Amino acid sequence: MDNNLSNSKIKLIRSLRQKKFRQETGLFAVEGTKLVEEALHSSFEVESVYRKEDIGEHTMQRISSMSSPSPILALVRQKNLSLSDIPLQKGRLYLALDGLRDPGNLGTIIRIAEWFGVSAVFCSHDTVELYNPKTVQATMGALFRLSVVYCNLSDLFSKAGSLDVPVWGTFLDGTPVTSDKQALKEMGRGSVIVLGNESEGISDPVSKLIGRKNHILIPSFRTDGAPKDSQRFQGSESLNVATACAAILSLVRATGSV
């Protein structure tokens, strides 16, 4: 417990709101009782913990990035895992994220991935930063329990191919997953499922690495329950990427277990 907060320490903590200083220091801030407890019980290195009852409400307001400061804040050292740190295994489920921009989406996907037993989440280098405060909050502690790796997705796919782990991608022109139970079973037996950027989907360079037969789609339905023609229907262009992630993983786990 570190209760001594000099002006330089306050300045350091406040600077961690910016990516530049998070990268320079290798630290990130965690706020809230639940998240700090998760950090303390994880394999992450917690450098210091500050409680409002010890440092005072005014000081907590100065260091907090939240509109309503939480009663506790911790400084945690980042983990920077590489592809070689994660042993891909047949029979395990993995996610790959290509160019996600929204920190809330990334955090929510990490939380969803943990819920559905995903073994690791792989992010392209242009995906939003894991230690962005909004991402950290949105994970609700899942980032302390689930491995998240930034890597070149082509290297990931090569590694998966060498281990006979199939790669599937979500595309608006893909095969509806509800019409291909065999594909769902195959995914459930172990695979890498790729999700793309919020507005543009999976990038062209990455899509070229995913076999056309492994393009999948979550179908849209009419009010009578009949599937819509994805090429003709008027309506929402696509699902939010985190919502799509939850839908796919739910289907994969439900079908893969029967």
Residue pair 207/164 in contact (Cβ under 8 Å)? The answer is: no
Compute the distance between CA of residue 183 and CA of residue 177 in angstroms, rounded to an integer.
Answer: 7
pLDDT tens per residue, range 103-133: 999 999 999 999 999 999 999 999 999 999 9
pTM: predicted TM-score of the whole model, two decimal places: 0.90
Output 250 or 255, whichever has higher pLDDT.
250
Residue 255 predicted with pLDDT over 90: no
Summarised one tens digit per residue, pLDDT across range 36-92 is 999 999 999 999 999 999 999 999 999 998 888 889 999 999 999 999 999 999 889
Token output for 158? 């090569």
Residues 6 or more apart in contact with residue 149 via CB below 8 angstroms: 81, 82, 83, 85, 86, 120, 121, 122, 123
pLDDT tens, residue by residue, 59-72: 999 999 888 888 99
Cβ-contact 103, 128 below 8 angstroms: yes
How many residues are recorded in the chain? 258
From CA 176, how far away is CA 129, in angstroms rounded? 31
pLDDT at residue 231 above 60?
A: no
Separation CA 103–CA 249 (nearest Å): 20
